Structures are given as structure tokens and as C-alpha cells.
């Protein structure tokens, strides 16, 4: 449970920012400076391969975190791009401020441990799904993980997240919705 003093410390330490649709929070080769919590809007984290193809790693809608922990904590350039798919409002915190708050607010360290654990679990599940599941199974998992997100992002971006061609996504969607009726 957070005390009033804890909440005051949090509100003074996080930085509120607004970003426009298509604006970048982080670009490949830059250093990550913040952990970002989405208040409103939608972020996309993606890689661009040597051929110039985009590979969506994750979407971050409201109440999700975004950032590159490796770049932030190891002070190395990021491999990712994070951009806004909608006008977006966020709270951002630097690594040093986060570490200070975790020492000052005991419950925050526990929260961050749970957040990190859940992130690792989600990543491991995604890798296992890529290795073992069909495109249709990955689509069903996507719908379960991101309910209603298909109304907010393009089919091309969903196909990129699933690792399939947009035409394959259309076919899979048609079969999926036909099976639901």
C-alpha cells in the first residue's frame, strides 16, 4: 500500500508527456533514457531487419509499459523503434529515478519485480508460440492478449507481429470469424 508521501514522490518523479501519432519515443541506434507507462493511446515496438522489413515485437495500449530494458540498464544503443500509432499520453521515468524510488518506496520494488517477471514470462510464451504454433494459433493468442486491438492497428502491423503475410492474416481472420458463427 502506498502512503501519501509515496504517491507524492511518484508524481514528482514521473514526467508527463504527450506524443502525436507517428512520433517516435525511441529510434534504433539511440540510447533508451526512460521507462514509459501509457496513459492514453497506443505504442508499437518494432525492429527493422537488414532488408528494411519491419517486425513488430509488441503493442503497448493503455496501462502497459514500453521501453528497452537492455538499452536503459546497460547503456547500450537500442535495436528497437517505438512509435505512436495514435496520439499518446505517457508517464516516463529515468533509470536513476526509478532505482531511487525502488529504494525509497518498498512496495514499488515488489511491483517492479512482478512487472519484470510477467514481462519475461510473456516474452518466453511468445517465443515458444513462434516456434511451436501455427499462424492460426498465434492469431488466436494475439486476440486473447490484445482484445479489441485489431480495431486500432493496421492489418499490416498485426501480420508483422504474427510473422505472416497480410494476405495470410485475411484468410486466417475469415476462417476464425466463420468458426465463431
Alpha-carbon distance values, 118 to 42, 77, 78 (Å): 20, 24, 21
Please tell me the predicted confidence (pLDDT) of residue 145: 86
Is residue 161 classed exposed, middle or buried when 0-12, 13-18 and 19+ CB atoms within 10 A define those classes?
buried
CA atoms of 70 and 7, how far apart (whole Å) = 27
Please tell me the predicted confidence (pLDDT) of residue 111: 84
Q: Which cell numbers hold the place of 36?
A: 514509459
Residue 140 predicted with pLDDT over 80: yes
Please tell me which residue, 33 or 120, carries the higher pLDDT value. 33
Q: How confident is the model at residue 1 (pLDDT cuts 50, 70, 90)?
A: low
CA atoms of 62 and 123, how far apart (whole Å) = 19
Please tell me the predicted confidence (pLDDT) of residue 84: 98
Q: How confident is the model at residue 137 (pLDDT cuts 50, 70, 90)?
A: very high
Please tell me the predicted confidence (pLDDT) of residue 178: 84
Mean pLDDT of 85-114: 91
Please tell me the predicted confidence (pLDDT) of residue 90: 97
Alpha-carbon distance values, 175 to 27, 65, 151, 165, 180 (Å): 37, 32, 18, 16, 9
How many CB atoms neighbour CB 78 within 10 A?
A: 20
Please tell me which residue, 116 or 68, carries the higher pLDDT value. 68
Cβ atoms of residues 169 and 162 within 8 Å:
yes
Question: Whole-prediction pTM value?
Answer: 0.89
Contacts by 114-117, CB closer than 8 A, 24 or more apart: 115/65, 116/69
Q: How confident is the model at residue 88 (pLDDT cuts 50, 70, 90)?
A: very high
Residue 162 predicted with pLDDT over 90: yes
Q: How confident is the model at residue 59 (pLDDT cuts 50, 70, 90)?
A: very high
How many CB atoms neighbour CB 44 within 10 A?
A: 23
Q: Which cell numbers hold the place of 48?
A: 527493422
Please tell me the predicted confidence (pLDDT) of residue 166: 94
Residue 181 predicted with pLDDT over 80: no
Amino acid at each position: 500500500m502506498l502512503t501519501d508521501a509515496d504517491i507524492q514522490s511518484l508524481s514528482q518523479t514521473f514526467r508527463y508527456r504527450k506524443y502525436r501519432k507517428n512520433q517516435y519515443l525511441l529510434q534504433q541506434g539511440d540510447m533508451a533514457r526512460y521507462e514509459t507507462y501509457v496513459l492514453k493511446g497506443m505504442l508499437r515496438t518494432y525492429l527493422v531487419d537488414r532488408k528494411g522489413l519491419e517486425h513488430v515485437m509488441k503493442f503497448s495500449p493503455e496501462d502497459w509499459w514500453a521501453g528497452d530494458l537492455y538499452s536503459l540498464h546497460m547503456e547500450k544503443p537500442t535495436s528497437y523503434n517505438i512509435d505512436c500509432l495514435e496520439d499518446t499520453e505517457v508517464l516516463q521515468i529515468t533509470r536513476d529515478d526509478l532505482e531511487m524510488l525502488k529504494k525509497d518506496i518498498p512496495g514499488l520494488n515488489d511491483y517492479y519485480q512482478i512487472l519484470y517477471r510477467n514481462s519475461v514470462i510473456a516474452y518466453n510464451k511468445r517465443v515458444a508460440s513462434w516456434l511451436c504454433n501455427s499462424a492460426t494459433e498465434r492469431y488466436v493468442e494475439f486476440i486473447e492478449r490484445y482484445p479489441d486491438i485489431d480495431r486500432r492497428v493496421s492489418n499490416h502491423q498485426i501480420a508483422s507481429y504474427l510473422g505472416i503475410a497480410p494476405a495470410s492474416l485475411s484468410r486466417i481472420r475469415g476462417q476464425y470469424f466463420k468458426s465463431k458463427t
